[in-house]
Structure 1
Amino acid sequence: MEHSIFLIGGEGDEQALFVEEEVGDNCRLICTVRGEGYRADEQDFFSALQAIRKRVLEPKGLVPFCYGASLKVWPSAMSRDMGGGLKAYKLEMGVQAKQLVGIFEEGPDVIPSSVAAQEEFAREWFDSLGK
C-alpha cells in the first residue's frame, strides 16, 4: 500500500511517499523524500514510521501531516500485534481511548509533533488514567 503524505516544514506542498511491505515477521516501511529512499524494518508499521521520523525526517525539519505523527495519537498493544500498527487511538487526558484512526490518514485534528513529544504525551495520557 502506498501513501503520499504532506510534510510540515517542507517546501510548498512537499510530500513524502510511504510504502508498506510485510517481510517475514517484520513490517517494512519505505519512505521516499526529496528523491532519496529510506527503509525501516520494525515489528509494526507505527514503529517503522517512528524510526523514519527520528532518523530521516526530523533532522531535515520535516513532520508528516498524518495521525501517525500527531501529538495525541498512539497505538494500543492489540492494534500493534493484531493490525500491524496501522491503526492508533486518538487520546484525551483522563479518558479511555475509543476512536481508532489510520496512521497514514489525515484530519483537521492532526497536531504534527516530534516523536519525543508524541511519546511524552502518550506517557502522560497513560498516567492520567490512574490505573
Structure 2
Amino acid sequence: MSNGYPRLLEDRDVLVVRGDEQKRALVRGWLDGYDGPLPRYRIELFLGKDLYTATAMDMFEALVRLRRQLEPKGWMVAVQGSRRDTYPSGMGRDVGGGRRIYVMRMGRAATSSDLVDTLADAALDQLATIAEQEAYRDTWHAAPKHRP
C-alpha cells in the first residue's frame, strides 16, 4: 500500500493460556490503511508455528475476531481487550480505532481514568470469553451508575 501503509502499531510478546498451559506468542497490530474514510486494522498472532490473523475497522474488533479463532481451541490472549470488564466506547472505536478501552466498574460511570490500552498485558484471573465479556458489558450498561 502507499502513503506509509501498512503501519505497524504493536509488535511484542504476549501470554496466551489454555487451562494450565501458558505460551508466549508474538502479537502484531497494524493499520493497513483506509477504504475511503474507513480504517482497516489487522492483528497477527504467531503461536508456535501457527499464524492467526484478523482484520476489522478497529483494533478491538480485530482482537475479537482473533479470539473467535482461538477460543474453540481453548486459548485466551492475556491482554486488556480480553478482560471480562473491558469494552470500547463508540467514540473510542470511531476516533481512536479501538486502541483504548474502558474498564467498566459496576455502579460507576466510566471516565478517562478508566481507559487502558487494548493490547496491554492483563492478569490471567481477569480473562473471559467473548460471550462473558459481552454479558458483563450488557449488565454494566443496564445498571444504574454514579459519577466518581
TM-score by length of 2: 0.79
Residues 120, 42 of structure 1: CA spacing in aligned structure 2 closer, same or farther, 3 A cutoff?
same
Counterpart of 1:112, as a letter, is: L
Aligned 8 A contact 1:67 1:107 in 2: yes
For structure 1, which runs of at least 5 residues remain unmatched after alignment? none
The Cα offsets for residues 15-52 of structure 1, whole Å up to 9 and x where unpaired, read as 22211111222111111112111221101010000001
Percent identical pairs in the alignment equals 28
* Counterpart position of 2:14: 5
For structure 2, which runs of at least 5 residues remain unmatched after alignment? 1-9, 34-38
Residues 111, 81 of structure 1: CA spacing in aligned structure 2 closer, same or farther, 3 A cutoff?
same
* Counterpart position of 1:127: 142
Counterpart of 1:32, as a letter, is: F
TM-score by length of 1: 0.88
* Higher strand fraction (1 or 2): 2
Question: d(CA) in 2 for partners of 1:120 and 1:13?
Answer: 26
Aligned length: 129
**Equivalent of 1:118, from 117, 128, 133?**
133
**Equivalent of 1:48, from 21, 45, 62?**
62
Q: What is the CA-CA distance between 1:64 and the residue it aligns to?
A: 1.1
Counterpart of 1:119, as a letter, is: E
* Counterpart position of 2:41: 27
Q: How does 1:43-122 map to 2 (within 5 A)?
A: 43-55=57-69, 57-98=70-111, 99-108=114-123, 111-122=126-137
SS at match of 1:83: coil
SS at match of 2:72: helix
Pick 1 or 2: higher relative contact order, CA cutoff 8 A, min separation 6: 1
